[in-house]
Amino acid sequence: MIRINNIKIRKDLSDIEILEFAINKVSINKEDILEWHISKKSIDARKKDDIHYTYNIDLNLKNEIKYLKRKNAHIQQIQSAKISPISINYNSSKPPVIIGAGPAGLFAALTFVQNGIKPIIIEQGKTVEERKKDVDLFLATGKLNISSNVQFGEGGAGTFSDGKLTTGINSPFCKKVLQEFVNFGAPKEILYLSKPHIGTDNLINIIRNMRNYIISKGGTFLFGEKVTDFKIENSKITAVYCSKEIKTDFVVLAIGHSSRDTFEKLLENGVSMQAKNFSVGVRIEHLQSDINYSQYGKNCTLKLPPAEYKLAYHSNNGHSCYTFCMCPGGVVIASSSENNTIVTNGMSNFSRNGTNANSAVLVTVTPQDFQNNSSPLAGIYFQKDLEEKAFALGGSNYYAPVQRFEDFLKNKKSEFIGKVKPSYLPGFTLANLNDILPSFVSSTLKEGITYFNTKLNGFANSDSILTGVETRSSSPVTILRNSNLVSNIDGLYPCGEGAGYAGGIMSAAVDGIKCAIAILEKHN
């Protein structure tokens, strides 16, 4: 195929109009086109007086060589990244077990059934449809189900987020993940948008469709079943325990970043792990209209989506501050998974049509920040302490503590809400977040948010709302594995975000595929 790249479009055009514009620019005859598709679409808003779209278009042509000989800077030959065929050596009489039905677990299961192997997927939470009911009840009433919530249940923590599919990894499996999402109901535009997202409303249907397909191919889901122990003999996994013993030779450990009691049980069983860097902080909210104005200016005539941002700051105190999981037109969502804790996250539906924009503003935390605890799980205890303090500061009723940024700077409790209204449910309490955040976190947040205002005007607006606390952006633990993706326990494959090998939906899904392939190709 050939690619027409870096085509700048300054109008809102239909796909066929974009094609015609592009081929006219590089003098390709329409009659020579056998097939075509948009391979990338992005927005260039660096110059407010020249905001435009940039497109890449891939074409299959009758006379490809003729066009390549022209040496046009906009034309290049491309080859699709190849995925090596799987050499299946699975000869166990027992099914592989997958613990966790988040993106890592679901894509591991999908890979197994697509290659004729029927896994058992154990998920302590409920199906995504029932899980949504529990989340909605918590947001309405503050009644928390510790097994079925924003963290636990089919689809994983990413289900109640913005559904971002951006990633920093470069893997041929990324394209497969996007295509599988489309196969199960995602909008086709995720295949080419530079910053694709699905939205919680779409994810719920997509995950249900994935589950039904896996079941139709022989996979078994055990919902409401919590793995309580592991049977390890001669440094090899032989079974897992939930309400019954399930014998197996292979376990994909896709438990997510919030399965704290499972981390403790794994450590107790001698599974090698270590503390890792993670981040904590707050959610910040602005009016989406203000973010649009700052990013797009006032004269843009294009029908642009709600604006996004991504910002970073490096403090002199050795810690970094950065924005994470920015949710245009979204809400701050209650994400607790343990009693008497406050945990926040961000969520958007596909349309991103809410009044506020929000993102996490996080400060890096290293094992050196809790040197008094040498346990590999010390980061978990650090997180939980913050979450319990936020619960108490919010009123011990699952209301979140919130504060205007101006008051946060002045280290005083907020007494009123300005133009930005907190979106967190079931409710909020005006507070002083400095009272619970470690001093290095508070000081770095103040420096970082003030600095971000120089990059995005209005970011440090006095009325910007801070909601505490965000502690679950990533796992504070790495479950060690070797180059074959196996832990020190033979047959146990740490996988995805909880094990420390992913940082979002896309990378977790890719890791699930890789772990399943490692098992399928393993020579016993």
Which pLDDT band holds residue 524 (cuts at 50, 70, 90)? low
Q: What value does the mean pLDDT take over residues 115-144? A: 97
Q: Is the pLDDT of residue 206 over 70?
A: yes
The DSSP-derived string for 224-282 is: T----EEEEETTEEEEEESSSEEE-S-EEE---TT-HHHHHHHHHTT--EEE--EEEEE
pLDDT at site 70? 83
pLDDT at site 162? 87
Q: Is 513 exposed, middle or buried (0-12, 13-18, 19+ CB in 10 A)?
A: buried
Closest by CA position to 383, among listed 357, 363, 413: 363
- What secondary structure letter does DSSP report for 126? -
What's the token pair of residue 116? 């004729």
d(Cα 130, Cα 433) in Å, to the nearest integer?
34
Q: Poorest-confidence range of 5-9, 81-85, 406-410, 474-478?
A: 81-85
Residue type, 16: I
Q: Is the pLDDT of residue 80 over 80?
A: no
d(Cα 64, Cα 35) in Å, to the nearest integer?
12
Q: What is the pLDDT of residues 11-50, one digit of tens each?
A: 999 999 999 999 999 999 999 999 999 999 999 999 999 9
Q: What value does the mean pLDDT take over residues 98-119? A: 98
Closest by CA position to 360, among listed 377, 343, 337: 343
Q: Is 167 helix (H, G, I), strand (E, B) or coil?
A: coil
What's the token pair of residue 208? 């249900």
Q: Is the pLDDT of residue 9 over 90?
A: yes
CATH 3.50.50.60 intervals, the chain: 97-275+477-520
Q: What value does the mean pLDDT take over residues 186-191? A: 95
Q: What value does the mean pLDDT take over residues 488-500? A: 97
What's the token pair of residue 439? 């001093």
Residue type, 399: Y
Contact call for residues 402 and 414 (beta carbons, < 8 A): yes
pLDDT at site 508? 96
User: pTM for the whole thing?
Assistant: 0.95
CA dihedral over 318, 322, 325, 329, signed as positive or negative: positive
b/e 9-46 (16+ beta carbons within 10 angstroms → b) = beeeeeeeebbebbbeebebeeeeeeebebbbbebebe
CATH architecture group of domain 97-275+477-520? 3-Layer(bba) Sandwich (3.50)
pLDDT, mean over the chain: 95
Q: Is 112 exposed, middle or buried (0-12, 13-18, 19+ CB in 10 A)?
A: buried
b/e 368-378 (16+ beta carbons within 10 angstroms → b) = ebbeeeeebbb
What's the token pair of residue 370? 């809790």
Q: What is the pLDDT of residues 290-309, one digit of tens each?
A: 999 999 999 899 999 999 99
- What secondary structure letter does DSSP report for 375? S
Query: Could you tell me the maximum CA-CA distance found in the chain, to the nearest angstrom?
Result: 72
Q: Is the pLDDT of residue 440 over 70?
A: yes
Phi-psi label, residue 180: left if phi above 0, alpha if psi -120 to 50, beta otherwise: alpha
Which pLDDT band holds residue 523 (cuts at 50, 70, 90)? low
Q: What value does the mean pLDDT take over residues 456-479? A: 97
Closest by CA position to 162, among listed 363, 345, 421: 345
d(Cα 99, Cα 266) in Å, to the nearest integer?
13
Q: Is 427 helix (H, G, I), strand (E, B) or coil?
A: coil
- What secondary structure letter does DSSP report for 286? E
Q: What is the pLDDT of residues 307-335, one digit of tens each?
A: 999 999 999 888 999 999 999 999 999 99
What's the token pair of residue 38? 């948009």
Q: What value does the mean pLDDT take over residues 263-292? A: 97
Residue type, 203: L
CATH fold of 2-77 reads: Alpha-Beta Plaits (3.30.70)
Residue type, 387: E
% of the chain beyond a pLDDT of 90? 90
Closest by CA position to 259, among listed 149, 166, 160: 149
Q: Is 44 helix (H, G, I), strand (E, B) or coil?
A: strand
Q: What value does the mean pLDDT take over residues 139-143? A: 97
Q: Is 408 helix (H, G, I), strand (E, B) or coil?
A: helix
pLDDT at site 36? 96
CATH 3.30.70.2700 intervals, the chain: 2-77
